[in-house]
Amino acid sequence: MSKQKIVTVASLAILWIGAAPCAGGQDVPALKDVFQDHFLIGGAPNRTVVTGRDPNAAAIVEKHFNTITAENDLKWQLIHPRPDRYNWEPADSFVAFGEKNRMSVIGHCLVWHAQTPRWVFQDDSGGEITRDALLARMKDHIMAVVGRYKGRIKGWDVVNEALDEDGTLRNSPWRRIIGEGSEDQKYDFIECAFRWAHEADPDAELYYNDYNLETSKAKCDGAIAIVKHFKSKGLRIDGVGIQLHGGLTHPSVEGLEYAITSLAAAGVKVMVTELDIRTQARGYRGADISRVSRANTDDPAAAAAETQKKLADKYAEIFSVLLAHKKDITRVTFWGVYDKTSWIGGSPLLFDRNGQPKEAFFAVVKAARQQ
């Protein structure tokens, strides 16, 4: 091949690479601009995003989001795997990534029954730990983690998923070991967690976070009872996170409106903290992580035009409700960044497996413009 031909082939290759669509959509508006006057809009990147190993996801996050929540790296199991060992590096790089991009960084989560190592609930001989020892452990963890990011994390999901579907407290090791006590101490472990989080960073916002608040009125009423209890005792609680792991046929408009309006009426900010819409028509619908696995999240119909149309319609409906209640909503965060890395499989987000905006993306933008 002549030198000239080599140069021509090389330039064509460069042109072709340059023309390949860039993740996040080159010519589409940025979601953070579209929702600028309404609420913060964000996603939940994982480690591959902040370390630069997934440039597609990073491009989407940087272009579209003004708030981020770590999908996993601040959870107890990851950040505090052994009694005497904290694994700060992933969380440090997540927080630094958010700061570099001038985003509101959200901490998820401090006290939860899942993704918490077994040792937390055990004494040295492997038996169940005492109430006092568990409280001491909880305090140490919260003071260390919240304290490390003091002034840098805007708000914390202090307690995650403490309720059952009927609105009573879930029988988690936290509740079982710490106990409910008298009526006045009904939410003892939740109260302690919030008190210590406040002590560690008095300026951080503190949230209670749960799923199915938009589909189960009883569960939503359970969250409202927690808020009212806190307010009656003068304890700090800033917001309640509606996770909103939805599906093509749920939640209903009524269910979502009930959750937003009744939580706001109880005196807290409302946020949608883990938005995705499962495209699978069958299988488990909830967000209990012990029931969701790669094996049961496969969805052969995910890419079909009919599925994508239904997804776009559901997103449009959900966003029209969120926008109608924007005075009560401070933030909407998607759970993940794009379909390829979603925990729920199928095609649940606004960007496809190559990072390109889907029909659902345009439906959401249209909903905002119609406001």
Contact residues: ligand XIL, CB under 6 A: 71-72, 160, 243, 274, 287, 289, 343
Sign of CA dihedral 304, 309, 315, 318: negative
CA end-to-end span of the chain:
60
What span, in angstroms and rounded, lies between the C-alpha atoms of 197 and 108? Answer: 13
**DSSP code per residue over 238-252:** -EEEE--EEETTBS-
What span, in angstroms and rounded, lies between the C-alpha atoms of 332 and 58? Answer: 18
- Comparison of 116 and 160: residue with beta carbon closer to ligand XIL: 160
- Comparison of 71 and 238: residue with beta carbon closer to ligand XIL: 71
Cis preceding-peptide flag for 251 (omega within 30 of 0): yes
69: tokens are 């929540």
197: tokens are 């989080």
- Comparison of 109 and 227: residue with beta carbon closer to ligand XIL: 109
User: Bridge-partner residues for 286, per DSSP?
Assistant: none
- Comparison of 71 and 339: residue with beta carbon closer to ligand XIL: 71
- Comparison of 72 and 122: residue with beta carbon closer to ligand XIL: 72
296: tokens are 């049961």
What span, in angstroms and rounded, lies between the C-alpha atoms of 192 and 164? Answer: 20
Catalytic residue of the set 191, 205, 214, 274? 274
Minimum CB distance to ligand XIL, residue 243 (Å): 6
Minimum CB distance to ligand XIL, residue 71 (Å): 5
Cα 284 from chain centre: 19
Phi, psi of 358, rounded to the nearest 5 degrees: -100, 175
Minimum CB distance to ligand XIL, residue 4 (Å): 52
Catalytic residue of the set 161, 191, 205, 359? 161
What span, in angstroms and rounded, lies between the C-alpha atoms of 195 and 233? Answer: 12
- Comparison of 25 and 338: residue with beta carbon closer to ligand XIL: 338
Q: Which amino acid is at 47?
A: R
Task: Give residue number: closest CB to ligand XIL.
Answer: 343
Does residue 165 have an active-site annotation? no
Alpha helices in the chain (DSSP H): 3-19, 31-34, 47-50, 55-64, 76-79, 89-100, 131-148, 173-178, 188-200, 217-232, 253-265, 305-324, 359-369
What span, in angstroms and rounded, lies between the C-alpha atoms of 328 and 266? Answer: 11
Reference 311, options 342, 353, 347; nearest CA is: 347
Distances (CA, A) of 369 to 6, 333, 362: 49, 19, 10
DSSP collapsed to 3 states, 83-125: CCECCCHHHHHHHHHHHHCCCEEEEEEEECCCCCCHHHHECCC
- Comparison of 214 and 274: residue with beta carbon closer to ligand XIL: 274
What is residue 262's DSSP assignment? H
Does residue 71 have an active-site annotation? no
State the catalytic residues: 161, 274
